[in-house]
Amino acid sequence: MATSGGHGPAAGGIAPEDFESLRLFLDESCGIVLGPHKAYLVRSRLGPLLRELGYRGFGELVRDLRTGARRGLRERVIEAMTTNETSWFRDRYPYALLEHELLPAFGRARVPRIRIWSAACSTGQEPYSISITAHELGQREPGLLPPLEIVGTDISPAVLEVARRGVYDEHAVRRGLTPERLRRHFRRVEGGWEVLPHVRAPVRFRPLNLLESYALLGRFHVIFCRNVLIYFDPERRRDILERMARTLEPGGALILGSSETLPAELQPRFRALRAHGGICYCLPP
């Protein structure tokens, strides 16, 4: 239980030094850059957590963050401050690129296994959409694709738990799934719709902070790194993409969010493939 030392009531303001400590914590722990005028964001995102955990003010929470006195607090703060917004087949073009360009190319190249990384996968819609895309292509063109392995990673244990469970409510399935896909790839269960085993089988999830090493993941043919780079400063973005480039197989492709671009220094290493209303960045074969 929290003790005294806070600054004002939970619903109230945040002292400048507490805001600064939180800013530093987020920057160092997960790379999230909080601008100097984002105190309102901290109040709105962390206010409910403050109340839930019984803190009387941000000062108490910051103190526990610093000392590590409260187990799981760091993860809860990161979770509250990150955006987990996602949907099925988000922006469509990444999946069209996969289906019409990338998967057939690796299939024709007879690689023994296609490995795809969904970095910052949130609640799983991205890796499962990849799996559905590959499954549908495999059914249309039997023998084209080798076995697939899809690795979904995220910093947040809470979103990974949802992803592993693979059950989505009506609201979530309505965001990007056609009725036909819902019928083919899900079954009704209590509380919503569960992904069927053929969608789940190639996918595994593991926690990973993108600021840390990727060495244990192995190499990939395609990396989805979408709608997460926006949180980081340019130097971190460059470092993450540089290290991702090193985990790509020759001919491998990087797919970013629709508002994210490859930093100029990295562009000479990739060939930009523009098709299906979008873009991906491919290494030379």
3-state secondary structure of 202: coil
CA pair distance 253, 90, nearest whole angstrom: 18
Any idea what DSSP says for residue 108? Answer: H
CA distances from 202 to 4, 140, 179, 210 (A): 50, 18, 23, 22
CA pair distance 97, 104, nearest whole angstrom: 10
Q: Which residue shows structure tokens 């709105």?
A: 44
Residue choice 93, 154, 177, 252 for contact with ligand SAM (CB under 6 A): 154
Q: Which of residues 216-235 bind ligand SAM (CB under 6 A)?
A: 226-228, 231
Residue choice 156, 241, 262, 282 for contact with ligand SAM (CB under 6 A): 156
Token output for 184: 């083919």
Least distance to ligand SAM from the beta carbon of 214, Å?
11
Q: Is 154 a catalytic residue?
A: yes
Query: Of 45, 92, 164, 236, which is the active-site residue?
Result: 45
For the chain, the C-alpha Rg in angstroms (whole number) is 21
Under rule CB under 6 A, residue 115 binds ligand SAM: no
Residue choice 2, 80, 114, 120 for contact with ligand SAM (CB under 6 A): 120
> 258-269: b or e for each residue (b if 16 or more CB lie within 10 Å)?
beeebeeebeee
Query: Of 56, 76, 115, 154, which is the active-site residue?
Result: 154
CA pair distance 109, 169, nearest whole angstrom: 39
Q: Is 169 a catalytic residue?
A: no
Binding mask 5-44 for ligand SAM (x = CB under 6 A): -------------------------xx-------------
Least distance to ligand SAM from the beta carbon of 260, Å?
10
Residue choice 22, 64, 107, 122 for contact with ligand SAM (CB under 6 A): 122
**Would you name the residues annotated as active-site residues?**
45, 154
